Amino acid sequence: MHFLVLGASAGGGLPQWNCGCRNCEDARKGVIPPSGQSSLAVSVDGEHWSVLNASPDIRQQMLDNTQLHPRALRDTPVQSVLLTNGDIDHIAGLLSLREQTPFTLFATQDILDVLSANRVFDALSRDKVGRNPIALDTDFTLQDGLSARIFAVPGKVPLFMEGETVQTDLIGEQTVGVRLAGSGKVAYYVPGCAQVTDTLLAQFADADLLFFDGTLWDDDEMIRSGTGIKTGRRMGHIPVSGPDGSVAMLAGVDAAKVFIHINNTNPILQPDGPEHAFVLDAGWRIARDGQEIVA
């Protein structure tokens, strides 16, 4: 399996349009590379591609990566798009794919209901783009030679659907991870996860490659930096550091591990910082736009 990182950042990207934090300023100055909002492409033959989450930056991401350029007058190498939740940073890019070129859209029924409840997504012609509901824990073909299976991970409903009370560890169709199997290898993509459970650890037992939620370094990062009022766990994201963070909790997973969906405030983005070194020393890689990884 051949993976192409289209966007390594969390919602807002790097730099975020209204943020003057150190990382955003360094990205504007070219000190660290900018990155788009979270999206990953996968192929088993290098010719046909599936996109995992359609970020608001997808037009630029397709422009920047020649693998996704059209090969004829009206054409796309993208055969399918798979959504892992209904967050804006994972569905808004669908509106940029409305120009009457066919592909298949896969998502749980809960996520497809989010699209159906927002009529603007009807701009994506149902005659050209089939909306295929997929069940949890059931194998399906994402593209020829590539099998996929989605599974529930702890999470929450999209921000725009939140009520007065928010449960951040829901287990169901609203937040899923993806298991991909092809060419004799198994890879996982989990860009959003509120906590690592025993069930999730058992799920990763056969992993050769794991792309995992790297949103925040620690739980109160945004509060401490003055960029937000919510903890990471309140937003449905497990922190990277700490005894119950992702590095510690996933230490026993015997796979190549990559952090993706990284918030603009996360200090692991500073290449000379101790947080960056900590992550690398723990055996993790940090995703960057345009990065190619083969499983």
In tens, the pLDDT along 65-98 reads: 999 999 999 999 999 999 999 999 999 999 999 9
Three-state SS across 216-278? CCCCCHHHHHCCCCCCCCCCCCCCCCCCCCHHHHCCCCCCEEEEECECCCCHHHCCCCHHHHH
| Domain residue ranges in the chain | 2-294
Question: Which residues, in sequence order, are CB contacts of 227 under 8 Å at separation 6+?
Answer: 19, 21, 265
Of 164 and 131, which is predicted with more confidence? 131
Res 235: pLDDT: 87
Local structure of residue 24 (DSSP, 8 states): H
Closest CA to 150 of 188, 182, 113, 176: 176
Res 43: pLDDT: 98
pLDDT exceeds 80 at position 168: no
- Percent of the chain clearing pLDDT 90 (strictly above): 90
Average pLDDT over residues 108-134: 95
How far, rounded to the nearest angstrom, does the alpha carbon of residue 191 sit from its chain's CA centroid? 4
CB atoms under 10 Å from CB of 197, counted, come to: 15
Res 239: pLDDT: 96
The token pair that represents 269 in the structure block: 């983005």
With DSSP H G I counted as helix, E B as strand and the rest as coil, what are the percentages for the chain, rounded to 5? Answer: 25, 25, 50
pLDDT exceeds 90 at position 157: no
End-to-end CA distance of the chain: 5
Res 243: pLDDT: 96
Tell me the pLDDT band of 130, cut-offs 50, 70 and 90: very high
Res 76: pLDDT: 97
Closest CA to 108 of 80, 135, 87, 79: 135
Distance CA 10, CA 58 (A): 14
Beta pairing partners, 237: none
Res 156: pLDDT: 87
Asked whether the beta carbons of 149 and 140 are under 8 A apart, the reply is yes
Backbone phi, psi, residue 231, to 5°: -75, 165
- Mean pLDDT, the chain, integer: 95
The token pair that represents 102 in the structure block: 């066919």
Res 136: pLDDT: 98
**Single pTM value for the model:** 0.96
> Which CATH code fits 2-294?
3.60.15.10
Res 172: pLDDT: 87
The token pair that represents 230 in the structure block: 């919510």
Residue 163 exposed, middle or buried by CB count within 10 Å (0-12, 13-18, 19+) = exposed
Calculate the alpha carbon distances from 246 to 37, 44, 196, 197, 282 in Å. Answer: 21, 29, 7, 11, 11
